Amino acid sequence: MNEQQMIDLVQAGIDGELAADEQDELAQLLESSAEARELHAQLAGVAAVLGRAEPLEPPADLHARIMGSIELPAPRRRWFSFGQAGAPGPLGYGLAAVAGAIFTFAALTVVDTPFGPDDTRDMVGTIAPVAATRVGAERFDAAAGRGSLELYRLEDGGYRLDVAVDASSSLDWRIDLDGSGLVLSELTSLQGQPGRVDWPQGRILGEDDTTVRLSAALQADPSADAVNIARVGWVLSADGTTVHRGGLTAD
């Protein structure tokens, strides 16, 4: 047993905090060690003096004196205080509210801004189409109007065909997939009000609506050996006369 353990054991015995086995240990220690007996006598004398002392009540102003002696650190200078060491609390909350309103208005303005038909290829997130890679495109620009035909390969192995037509007059047009190894699956989106949509033949009768946007899902033809992108095309006509016939050019 080291010195500190001896002191702790003797002190606990004087304080009456020992269990039965510890009391036996203390008795053996006092019997075998003169140093322990001397220490026990000294501590017992101190305990006797303290036991005879009258308990004192703390001063009535003790709490106030303690609290008054506590010094809190000075408040740090605010980074934006309108020339004062510290702006009033309500003003700070007001500034936060104004900043929040400006940020919200700016965010809503950006979100509500319409995107062009080609902008979605650079978008990410849930409002963008499924990740796709453009594999071919074809464009025309003639007196009858202009337009584009774009084919995308999707991550799941399917295809998406995006079509845009801006005509100067009524145009009828048809998607031509003969020999491409692809077949039309479904019309996934349509903007504009063409006179007639003949689906799944892929024929659109423009009539009075000269601006049309559409996206169509394509899938591989089970009877075809391979997909031939160059055979994906379209035919545009006005009053029964063909004004444009074209096919995709691979990217």
For the segment 8-48, what is each residue's pLDDT rounded down to a tens digit?
888 888 888 888 888 888 888 888 888 888 888 888 888 77
The reported pLDDT for the residue numbered 51 is 74
Instruction: Based on the fold, state whether residues 45 and 141 are members of the same structural domain.
Output: no
Q: How confident is the model at residue 159 (pLDDT cuts 50, 70, 90)?
A: very high
Predicted confidence (pLDDT) per residue in 72-108, tens digit: 776 665 554 444 444 455 555 566 666 666 666 665 5
Residue 19 structural domain: 3-52
Tokens describing residue 48: 């006797």
- Answer yes or no: pTM beyond 0.75: no
Does any domain span residue 95?
Answer: no
Predicted confidence (pLDDT) per residue in 102-148, tens digit: 666 665 555 444 445 444 444 444 444 558 899 999 998 888 888 89
Tokens describing residue 171: 């145009």
Does any domain span residue 142?
Answer: yes
Does any domain span residue 159?
Answer: yes
Instruction: Based on the fold, state whether residues 133 and 242 are members of the same structural domain.
Output: yes
Chain centre to alpha carbon of residue 28 = 70
Instruction: Based on the fold, state whether residues 37 and 138 are members of the same structural domain.
Output: no
Residue 171 sits in a domain whose CATH number is: 2.60.40
Q: How confident is the model at residue 206 (pLDDT cuts 50, 70, 90)?
A: low
Instruction: Based on the fold, state whether residues 134 and 230 are members of the same structural domain.
Output: yes
Q: How confident is the model at residue 177 (pLDDT cuts 50, 70, 90)?
A: confident
Does any domain span residue 40?
Answer: yes
Contacts of 50 (CB under 8 A, 6+ apart): none
* Domain total in the chain: 2
Q: Which residues of 3-41 are buried (b: 16+ CB within 10 A; e: fewer)?
A: eeebeebbeebbeeebeeeeeeebeebbeeeeebeebbe
Does any domain span residue 199?
Answer: yes
Does any domain span residue 108?
Answer: no
Instruction: Based on the fold, state whether residues 136 and 225 are members of the same structural domain.
Output: yes
The reported pLDDT for the residue numbered 135 is 92
Instruction: Based on the fold, state whether residues 132 and 215 are members of the same structural domain.
Output: yes
Instruction: Based on the fold, state whether residues 129 and 224 are members of the same structural domain.
Output: yes
Does any domain span residue 34?
Answer: yes
Write phi, then psi, for 161 (nearest 5 degrees).
Answer: -110, 120
Does any domain span residue 195?
Answer: yes
- Which residues share a beta bridge with 154? 132
